[in-house]
Amino acid sequence: MALLLSRELKSLADTATLAADVSALLPSGGVLLLTGDLGAGKTTFVQALARVFGITRTVTSPTFTLANEYPIPDGGKLVHYDLYRLASAGGLYDLGLEEALENGDRLVIEWPEKAQAVLDLEVPHRLRLRLTLNGTGCRQAELTEENV
């Protein structure tokens, strides 16, 4: 596990800057796991990342749909998963995981711990962004590279 970035996010502008930096590390076929409590800023980060990729559609939290996909103007898709309500890890296959990986889509996954077994099997190499809220309302962001 290698630490790639660590910084404080004091504003939405900092989230936008982080998204620009992370986008350069997320090539076609790349997978980014997003870890952090409710309210840590995971969905907000995905919205910022979508803007970096030139996506103009409004990115909403796929809390009930579990997955949303957005075409990237330069090619491929950004697929946004929110697994908070996933009943079992295997359910991730029903959300088109294998197809998305075969297509070389970029995947961002909120609540990856809900499907850890499947992700360890299917995506041993991935990035993980950890967002934590500290007591003063500031956010800490840490990006690591994982090889299971």
Ligand X SMILES: Nc1ncnc2c1ncn2[C@@H]1O[C@H](COP(=O)(O)OP(=O)(O)O)[C@@H](O)[C@H]1O
Residues contributing to the site for Mg ion (CB under 5 A): 42-43, 61
The gap from C-alpha 126 to its chain's centroid, in whole angstroms, comes to: 10
Beta-bridged to residue 108, according to DSSP, are 32, 80
Closest CB to Mg ion among 46 and 118? 46
Torsion sign across C-alpha atoms 107, 108, 111, 112: positive
Question: Could you tell me the smallest distance in angstroms from the CB atom of residue 147 to ligand X?
Answer: 25
| Burial class of residue 96, CB neighbours in 10 A (0-12, 13-18, 19+) | middle
Closest CB to ligand X among 77 and 139? 139
Q: Which does 9 bind (CB under 5 to 8 A by kind): ligand X, Mg ion, none?
A: ligand X
Question: Could you tell me the smallest distance in angstroms from the CB atom of residue 112 to ligand X?
Answer: 13
* Residues within the interface to ligand X (CB under 6 A): 9, 11-12, 14-15, 36, 38-44, 139
Tokens at 93, concatenated: 């296959």
Closest CB to ligand X among 103 and 144? 144
